[in-house]
Each structure stands twice: as C-alpha cells, then as structure tokens.
Amino acid sequence: MPTDEEVVQAASEAAEGLIFERYKQSAVRDVDVTVTFEEGVLEVDVYLNAPDDEKAQRVADEAARAAQDAVDDLFAAEAEADEPQ
C-alpha cells in the first residue's frame, strides 16, 4: 500500500502537471494545490489565478480530477504488484 506521502506527492504532481500543460508558467498569476490524505480519505483543493477566469476554473477542476486519477492509478499499480504471479 502506498504511503500517505506517496499519495500526496502523486496527486500534487498530477494536478500541477495538468495546469502547466494548459498554461504557460508565465501566464499563471497564482496557483495553490493543497492535497491531504488522512485515514484513507483524499482531499484535493486547487486554486488557479490565470487569464480567463472561466477557463481557469475548468482547468482547476480538471487538475483536481487528475490528482484523484493519479492516486487511483497508484493504488491500482500497488494492488497489481501485490497479486500472486
């Protein structure tokens, strides 16, 4: 099973990665990705201040989903590795 730290790192990297795929770093005025994983509960909050508020909100929502997907993938990979061959 992944550690809490591995979960938080995977989620953070996925969220930030998606944001900077969609925006040049110089276009982002402010970004804050907060990830917690406690007692098996993942919480992801993404704040993005970038041009075009409507697009920025969509990208922030997509980044949060990407973080959740990355954690799902991490657990799935771990489960596959634990299966007997």
pLDDT in tens, 12-66: 999 999 999 999 999 999 999 999 999 999 999 999 999 998 999 999 999 999 9
Print the domain residue range for 69: 4-80
CATH of the domain at 22: 3.30.300.100
Query: Do the domain assignments include residue 85?
Result: no
Query: Do the domain assignments include residue 66?
Result: yes
Three-class secondary structure of residue 70 per DSSP: helix
Token pair in block for residue 44: 């992801």
For 77, residues 6+ apart whose C-beta sits below 8 A from its C-beta are none
pLDDT in tens, 60-83: 999 999 999 999 999 999 888 877
Query: Do the domain assignments include residue 46?
Result: yes
Counted domains in the chain? 1
